[in-house]
Amino acid sequence: MRIQQLEYLEKIVALGSMNEAAKALYMTQPSLSSAIKELENEMNIQILVRSKTGVRLTEEGREFMSYAQQIMDQVQLLEEKYKDTRPRKQTFSVSAQHYAFVVHAFVELINSLDVEEYQFKLRETETENILEDLSRFKSELGILYLNSFNEKVMMKLFKERELVFQPLFRAKPHVFVSNTSPLGQKELVELADLEDYPYLSYEQGERNSFYFAEEILSTLEHRKDIKVSDRATIFNLMVGVNGYTISSGVLSKKLNDDKIIAVPLNVKDEMTIGYLKHKQKELSPIAQHYLQMLEDHIQGYGFEIL
């Protein structure tokens, strides 16, 4: 086994395509495929499953990849210490549902760095994509919520993909609205109060299951229903059409102006927001640092870390 083969595998897993990885590595696709096949034969396991839509890791491949990444990290440390070469860029990736506190902690992480080069990725994305990113090692952390409605289904999916969920904090549901909305003048909002206003929620792509919704009470019918794909749009619609969405109540004043406010929703439910990691991969120091900043930010809003 050669370090170069592990570098090839790392690139394939990151891109999810043998052809795209070959282009990035300036290799021919047959040469790259041959190098991986040689590695699989030597290790006596099947690491990748190849299909028309790309490649993915087998269960054995995921376990192998977790060990391979540890080797790559150690090689990087050796090169930085003993070789007169430029170190590899600091890398980190997190996939999350649409939460302002996730972005705020990400900003603080970057501003705290003392490195010349880095390659970070923040994906505010659909719930299914979070699970896919974690299972394919495209992200180290995934941020999402569980409640009494989706927990059983989601925990089953986590187990199937060898993902571990760690709770961060619990929050009562709030409605996010414009500060000029009549809903924003209330101290407590009832479900009946929402009927005349457009309901804003994040689309979930092809797998638009109620269990994948980012908003609780996802099975309720709404006379006015608008799906969006990003947080900027949902905030604009809160102001433009007096729309509302349901979330945790945590707003970042540093990243959002005072036009959007959170009002408690009177329902017997709560959200447990936490992070996902892959069972077979230890968190990197940069991921641990990000989690600490995330916890500090959450505590700053008066929530207790679980």
Phi, psi of 303 (to 5 degrees): -95, 145
Chain centroid to Cα 105, Å, comes to 13
> Which residues make Cβ contacts (< 8 Å) with residue 287, sequence separation at least 6?
92, 94, 140, 141, 277
What's the rounded Cα separation, in Å, for the pair 95 and 278? 13
Give the pLDDT of residue 26: 86
Identity at 170, one-letter amino acid code: R
48-51/54-57 β-pairing: antiparallel
d(CA 55, CA 140) in angstroms, rounded, equals 19
For residue 232, what pLDDT is reported? 85
* Angstrom distance (rounded) from CA 247 to CA 99: 9
State whether the Cα torsion 102-107-111-116 is positive or negative: positive
pLDDT of residue 73: 79
What's the whole-model pTM score? 0.74
Asked whether the beta carbons of 273 and 303 are under 8 A apart, the reply is: no
Six token digits for residue 42 = 């030597």
Q: What local confidence, expressed as pLDDT, does residue 207 receive?
A: 65
From edge to edge, which strands make up the β-sheet containing 260-264? 245-247, 174-178, 260-264
The structure tokens 């491949």 sit at 61
Task: Count CB neighbours of 164 within 10 A.
Answer: 15
| Domain chopping of the chain, boundaries | 3-82, 91-167+273-300, 171-264
Closest CA to 142 of 277, 14, 273: 277
**Reported CATH class of domain 91-167+273-300:** alpha beta
Domains 3-82 and 91-167+273-300 belong to one CATH topology = no
Each residue's pLDDT expressed in tens, for the chain with a length of 306 residues:
888 888 888 888 888 888 888 888 888 888 898 899 999 999 999 999 888 778 888 888 888 988 888 888 788 777 766 765 565 678 899 999 999 889 989 999 999 988 778 889 999 999 999 998 998 888 999 999 999 999 999 999 999 989 999 999 999 999 999 989 999 999 999 999 999 999 999 988 776 678 888 888 888 889 999 999 888 899 899 999 999 999 888 876 665 557 888 899 999 999 999 999 998 888 888 999 999 999 998 888 888 998
**Contact (Cβ atoms closer than 8 angstroms) between residue 174 and residue 272:** no
pLDDT at residue 81 in the model: 66
d(CA 125, CA 128): 8
Rg (CA), the chain: 22
pLDDT at 253: 62
The CATH class, in words, for 3-82 is mainly alpha
Residue 214: Cβ-neighbour burial (10 angstroms; 0-12, 13-18, 19+) = buried
Give the largest Cα separation in the chain, rounded.
67
Is the distance from CB of 278 to CB of 165 less than 8 angstroms? no
Tokens at 294, concatenated: 């995330």
Query: Are β-strands 163-171 and 118-124 bridged in parallel, bridged antiparallel, or unpaired?
Result: unpaired
Q: What is the CATH number of domain 171-264?
A: 3.40.190.290
Q: What is the DSSP letter of 258?
A: T
H or E element that contains 34: helix 29-43
